[in-house]
């Protein structure tokens, strides 16, 4: 096995590329062709990387770009919970990378629904897509894309961004993928097709911001400012708006701080 190839948990396969359009797009293509996984798709660089809502994901060399394709026997209504599985696993993998380097990242945290931050800057992002397996089984195939800034980050994108090397942690994409694959395998087992979501929810909250933190959510139809309460039993974001009304959101872009008069947005 080449030295730059990660060791994956038992049962997982790896498909590696020097360059690809998008690891998630490749995962969805393979799912349509009958691939069931579990399969990690890893590229050294992407030319058409994607984030949520069709945004481009700029692929700086030396970072991790990987997607996990898995077959699931769960209700379609709980598939969105995989974003929380991936968030907690990515957080834990980054912690493990820091520990291996003798570094502690005290300001590492999760932000709903799919970002990992250091302080106010984005370090990693998650893109979840799914489809129905061809044939009579009707099982779901999920493709979970994860990008982690290791060696560098894009500039001039209108928000705070960072990378691990800037915090004293130097790690190769292969080594980071090994940490990530281990953590994903662990949390997928704990999640157990949705049965373990209460445990996962608590783990996510422990890694997220504190109750009362000010934030703004843009749903595309409205922009709501308020204070963070948590996430509910289904994973919806719960805010108390400026009028004191408790609101729940299943979709939207969140920035920390208030949209008007905030000292910083991210």
Domain ranges for the chain, please list them.
13-206, 214-256
What pLDDT was estimated at residue 138? 67
**Scanning the structure block, which residue is given the tokens 């703004």?**
216
165 in Cβ contact with 150 (< 8 Å): yes
Class of domain 214-256 as given by CATH:
mainly beta
Nearest CA among 70, 73, 68 for reference residue 138: 73
- Over the stretch 65-124, which tens digit does the pLDDT of each residue have? 999 999 998 989 999 999 999 999 999 999 999 999 999 898 999 999 999 999 989 999
pLDDT for the residue numbered 262: 41
Asked if the domains at 13-206 and 214-256 fall in one CATH topology, the answer is: no
CATH number of 13-206: 3.30.930.10
Q: pTM value?
A: 0.92
What tokens appear for 262 in the block?
């905030």
pLDDT digits (tens, 9 = 90+) for 213-253: 999 999 999 999 999 999 999 999 999 999 999 999 999 99
CB neighbours of residue 221 within 10 Å: 7
DSSP-derived secondary structure for 192-213? GGGTTHHHHHHHHHHTBPPTT-
Q: Is the pLDDT of residue 48 over 60?
A: yes
What does DSSP say about strands 39-46 and 13-20: parallel, antiparallel, or unpaired? parallel
For the chain, state the CA radius of gyration. 18
The mean pLDDT of 124-144, rounded to a whole number, is 86
Local structure of 137: helix, strand or coil? coil
Cβ-proximal residues to 51 (8 Å cutoff; 6+ apart), any chain: 57, 125, 127, 147
Q: Are 126 and 95 a contacting pair, CB within 8 Å?
A: no
Average pLDDT over residues 185-198: 98
The answer to whether residues 24 and 129 touch, using CB atoms and an 8 Å cutoff, is yes
Q: Tokens for 128?
A: 């979840």
Q: What is the DSSP string of 62-127?
A: TSEEEEEEEEE-S-GGGGGGHHHHHHHHHHHHHHHHHHHTT---TTEEEETTTEEEETTEEEEEEE
Range 173-201 average pLDDT: 98
């Amino acid at each position: 096995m080449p030295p730059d190839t990660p060791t994956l948990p038992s049962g997982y396969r790896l498909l590696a590329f020097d360059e690809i359009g998008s690891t998630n797009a490749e995962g969805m293509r393979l799912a349509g062709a009958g691939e069931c996984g579990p399969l990690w798709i890893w590229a050294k660089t992407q030319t058409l990387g994607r984030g949520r809502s069709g945004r481009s994901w700029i692929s700086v060399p030396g970072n991790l770009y990987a997607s996990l394709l898995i077959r699931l026997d769960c209700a379609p209504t709980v598939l969105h919970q995989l974003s929380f599985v991936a968030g907690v696993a990515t957080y834990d993998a980054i912690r493990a990378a820091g520990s291996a380097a003798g570094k502690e990242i005290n300001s590492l945290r999760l932000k709903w629904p799919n970002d990992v931050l250091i302080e106010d800057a984005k370090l990693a992002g998650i893109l979840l897509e799914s489809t129905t397996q061809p044939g009579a089984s009707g099982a779901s195939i999920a493709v979970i894309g994860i990008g982690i800034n290791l060696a560098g980050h894009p500039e001039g994108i209108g928000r705070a961004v960072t990378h691990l090397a800037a915090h004293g942690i130097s790690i190769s994409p292969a080594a980071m993928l090994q940490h990530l694959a281990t953590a994903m395998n662990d949390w997928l087992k704990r999640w157990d097709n949705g049965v373990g979501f209460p445990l996962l929810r608590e783990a996510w909250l422990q890694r997220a911001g504190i109750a009362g933190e000010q934030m703004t959510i843009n749903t595309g139809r409205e922009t709501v400012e308020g204070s963070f309460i948590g996430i509910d039993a289904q994973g919806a974001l719960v805010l108390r708006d400026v009028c004191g009304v408790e609101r729940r959101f299943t979709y939207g872009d969140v920035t920390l701080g208030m949209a008007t008069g905030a000292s910083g947005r991210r």
